[in-house]
Amino acid sequence: MPRAFVGALECQVVVDRDLGETWAVTVVPPPVNGVPSAPQVVKLQGNDKEAITRGALEILLKAGRIDRFEM
């Protein structure tokens, strides 16, 4: 199961198939002091779920939205 990290916080990664070949990869950070943080969502097209997940996490990493990820 993929994991993303923002600083030292581990974030949940959810991969859902949208319509057709579109996938939504969502990184959901844990609440901070009881306040939920906004999820980060990337939508990509393709057939390979693992490749889509890795690609979306690399996009978030390069954009500075996450600090690292593990597959």
7 within domain boundaries: no
The 10 Å CB-count burial string (b at 16+, else e) for 33-55 is eeeeeeebebebeeeeeeebbeb
Which residue range forms the structural domain that includes residue 52?
14-31+38-70
pLDDT in tens, 1-60: 899 999 999 999 999 998 889 999 999 999 988 899 899 999 999 999 999 999 999 999
61 within domain boundaries: yes
8 within domain boundaries: no
Cα 56 to chain centroid, rounded: 6
Q: Give the three-state DSSP class for 59.
A: helix
When divided into structural domains, the chain yields a total of 1
